[in-house]
Amino acid sequence: MSVLDRSSDLYKQYARQLSTQEEDIQRFNRQIDDLQDDQQKADQDLKDYIASLNI
């Protein structure tokens, strides 16, 4: 991008695409964090359930 004129349509298109990709990555990272939290809670719930069984 350093060889492109900053006022050119192609530069602006690349900048928009890059911005969109960065936003997507941030959203995916938040989703990953949320899913990891859900998994940890489910793991703990399962451990608690198993520990409460009387066999």
DSSP state of 55: -
CB 5 within 8 A of CB 11: yes
- Model pLDDT, residue 49: 98
Domain regions of the chain by residue span: 1-55
The H or E element spanning position 48 is helix 9-52
Mean pLDDT by 10 residues, the chain (55 residues): 88 97 98 98 98 92
- Model pLDDT, residue 11: 95
- Model pLDDT, residue 18: 97
- Distant-in-sequence, close-in-space partners of 5: CB < 8 Å, separation ≥ 6: 11
Q: How many residues does the chain have?
A: 55
Neighbours of 15 (CB within 10 A): 13
- Model pLDDT, residue 2: 81
